[in-house]
A and B are shown apart, each in its own frame.
Chain A
């Protein structure tokens, strides 16, 4: 999805890509959550449309806005249907990642673990942020008061506790990991073994095929914007 979307800037290509994503959303049972993330993307799509409308044509503005939606949907699909744990396991199986991690951090699974942890901390941090905002509002803080400079300064009482909580949590996580023997030895086994099934090969095949076709089209034809 991503590569064709980035290769072409045509309204029709985007419409086709978006339509091909819709059934996947329903198969993955994430259509509702996707709709919610769309709502968050409305502002940005508006901005993209406006910028391209004034610098280019209406059609390129529509195409680029749709491209943003295609990318948003592709990322939503991926992250809403893939658990961070599975992703981490999969990353851990890639030889290149292990090699880089060993060279760089000294342990083969440190890099994939860092990635998983980072992804997993986002929702926790969001909950903390809400609590900090509530706590400071209870002390009379009004975030939307004053001029622009004042408003930016209003965020200091939110950001400092949040940063400290994150640092403190990561130190605690490090201690907890060490007390459980992380990173262990080379050749650590995993409770869940990921296996590629027939469906996975099919998806890989379709994706590679689609990418190949779109690169071929890109090299041989000029696809009009509309």
Chain B
């Protein structure tokens, strides 16, 4: 047994915990977008309630990282692993909060059939955001800088969709003032999705910092 056995083991556990949290966040984003599109209030309520679990997991992981630094006093890359752990789960927690924001919007929009036209952008943005979370975590687990960069490039697509959606929603509002409330909520939703993608690029930056020790702005 290597003298670093305990340390290696807790690092592996930390990684598993982060993956667990990421899978929950990915699911929350999916459910939030899905329940918005289907106007499914129960689904939205589940997303809101599920956030507590993600928050608890976040605190747990943060505690583990702090304990790791305090008891093992890691150096260089090992230290960066612990620090990156904190950064990534912080980003994930923010994403989950945005998923909750989307679910809240769903609640507010319940019972009003959509009359605006640019709905198809939302699932597209949701899909991209989830893909970014997934690939960001893949990059983290495999310490894959290349993958982290590729993932961050997806952010441009999300930004593009956000810009288009913004233009079209504003157009909708100008055309038909009755859609203003709905369009305003959907504007928020697209903004939340865009923020989720931004948090995903933070994960990518954290991975690059983990592997190379460099700080690189990828957004």
- Whether A and B are associated in the same complex: the answer reads no
Task: List residues of B whose CB falls within 8 A of some A CB.
Answer: none
Task: List residues of A whose CB falls within 8 A of some B CB.
Answer: none
